[in-house]
Structures are given as C-alpha cells and as structure tokens.
Chain A
Amino acid sequence: AQSVTQLGSHVSVSEGALVLLRCNYSSSVPPYLFWYVQYPNQGLQLLLKYTSAATLVKGINDFEAEFKKSETSFHLTKPSAHMSDAAEYFCAVSPRGLTFGKGITLSVRP
C-alpha cells in the first residue's frame, strides 16, 4: 500500500521568504515521489520527481525537494517566494500508479 500525508491545507508566506511545504509518504516498496503544482483553473503540472537517483532533486522555478528515507519525507522548498508561486501543490507517491496527497494552497503576501 502507498499513501501521502500533506499536513495543513494552507501556507502563507511573504514575498521573498522561504517556502517549505511538507510531505510524508508511506510505501511498502521503494517509492518514486513527485510534486505537482496546480494554478487556478488549470491542470496539474509536474514540478519535480525523485526516482531513486540523487536524494536532492531540483525542479522548475527554483523549487527543490529532498528525499529522506529515515523520515519518510519529501518536503518541497524554495529559497525566495514570488507572487507567481501562489497555487495549490500536490505531493504524490508511486510505483503503483500515483497516490496524491490532499494538496496545500500556497499564498504569497506582498
């Protein structure tokens, strides 16, 4: 079985501040992990993915995530938030298809 937990439904940061979105997973086999972003009224777009190579994964728009097996975590970070980062973010785990977390809405204050 596989599952994802994204704690909290909403995160608010100031423009220029660090973004940290948390994701914990459960998987009975070595996982593949993904972060997706959804802008208002759009489909989901892949931000980055972990597929058992480097544990620190870099994605688009300066986002990165680190796979920590001991903590079963795959948290998403960005050093400096931009207004355009306001969106909903989903963590997902594979390999048995994709199981999504419930999503976190990121707001960016001017």
Chain B
Amino acid sequence: NAGVTQTPKFQVLKTGQSMTLQCAQDMNHNSMYWYRQDPGMGLRLIYYSASEGTTDKGEVPNGYNVSRLNKREFSLRLESAAPSQTSVYFCASSEFRTAYEQYFGPGTRLTVT
C-alpha cells in the first residue's frame, strides 16, 4: 500500500516549457487535490477533483490545467511555465471532499528558470 505517489520528485524547466506532474493513489479515495507550497504562504489549493469525472478550480488555478484520468490518477499540467510557478507541489487524496482528512504525497520540487 503505497498511499499517494508523485512523479517526478525534482524538475527544472526553462520559462515557456511545458510539463505534467503525475499523481496516483491506491486508497480507493474519491477526491484528489493539487496544492502548491511556497515559503510563508502555507499550502494553497490549485485544483481539486471531488469525484471521478469532475474537476474544479481552487484558490490559485491560473497557469495550470488538470486531468482526472481515472479514480486513481490526477495529473497537473503547466502549459507554459513561468518563474512564478517555482514551488513545491503536493498531491493529496481523501475519501470524500467534505470533512475527511487528506493524505499527501511526498511532493515535487519544481524550479523554473
């Protein structure tokens, strides 16, 4: 039981390049989330998927897109990376969106130069 896994662990991009961050969970959870963590800002929600087949914007969605590929997998895409997207990205999952605790992956450290 791996929990929530994320790939890659580290990535360096040049401004304007694109990439996709992958996330998978094996806990049969319905809801999945993407956060970014920046110093002094806590965790900010980028997008979430309350259930398979649905996605919704969070607090900071600009510059990102997501795909809920199936119940297990939720990917985050940066179409044209900008230095402001340098951050640590966390994927999380929970049984349902309402009231349940979330389980986090180990994070992806992204640097955009």
CB of A83 closer than 8 Å to a CB of B:
no
Asked, given contacts A32-B99, A97-B97, whether A90 binds B43 with beta carbons under 8 Å apart, the answer is: yes
CB of A25 closer than 8 Å to a CB of B:
no
Docked complex Cα distance between A44 and B101 (Å): 11
Segment 1-24 of A: residues with Cβ below 8 Å from B: 9
Binary per-residue interface labels of chain B (92-106) against chain A in the complex, 1 for a CB within 8 Å, 0 otherwise: 100001111111111
> Contact residues of A with B, CB < 8 Å?
9, 32, 34, 36, 41-46, 49, 51, 90, 94-98, 100-103
Asked, given contacts A42-B107, A43-B105, A44-B90, whether A100 binds B42 with beta carbons under 8 Å apart, the answer is: yes
Question: Is the Cβ of B104 less than 8 Å from the Cβ of A43?
Answer: yes
Question: Is the Cβ of B40 less than 8 Å from the Cβ of A102?
Answer: yes
Question: Mind listing 13 A-B residue pairs with CB under 8 Å?
Answer: A9-B40, A32-B99, A41-B107, A43-B105, A46-B101, A90-B42, A90-B43, A94-B100, A97-B33, A100-B42, A100-B43, A101-B42, A103-B42
Asked, given contacts A43-B106, A44-B90, A97-B48, whether A49 binds B43 with beta carbons under 8 Å apart, the answer is: no
CB of B45 closer than 8 Å to a CB of A:
yes
CB of B2 closer than 8 Å to a CB of A:
no
Question: Is the Cβ of B101 less than 8 Å from the Cβ of A95?
Answer: no
Docked complex Cα distance between A94 and B43 (Å): 14
Docked complex Cα distance between A34 and B101 (Å): 8
Docked complex Cα distance between A44 and B98 (Å): 19
Q: With CB as the reference atom, state the residue of chain B lying closest to A32.
A: B99
Question: Is the Cβ of A45 less than 8 Å from the Cβ of B104?
Answer: yes
Question: Is the Cβ of A94 less than 8 Å from the Cβ of B98?
Answer: yes
Question: Is the Cβ of B41 less than 8 Å from the Cβ of A102?
Answer: yes
